[in-house]
Amino acid sequence: MLCGAVVHSAATPEPCCRYLQVTNPDPTDRIILQGRALVRTIEALGTIEPAGPFERALARLLMAAYKRRLRGIVKLAPT
């Protein structure tokens, strides 16, 4: 499974979470990493053209959830 630039085996559970735990970034770095990942995901969802109504609804739902999570992360960021 591919997680950013780090490649993990398929047998490893939740490689992205494991990667963050292993590298143990400080809270500010973790917020920045998660925020950047969410921005990339939101941009990708906006770029993909859904093939049908189910995919369109799913893309809207995911985009709304990720935007809400991003707003929450921004509130946690130190000033």
0.75 surpassed by pTM? no
CB 48 within 8 A of CB 41: no
CA distance between the termini of the chain = 35
Instruction: State how far the Cα of 38 lies from the Cα of 73, in Å rounded to an integer.
Output: 10
pLDDT tens sequence across 42-60: 999 999 899 999 999 999 9
Lowest mean pLDDT among 2-6, 21-25, 57-61, 75-79: 2-6
Beta strands in 1-79 (DSSP E): 2-3, 6-7
pLDDT tens sequence across 25-38: 687 888 888 899 99
Lowest mean pLDDT among 16-25, 34-43, 65-74: 16-25
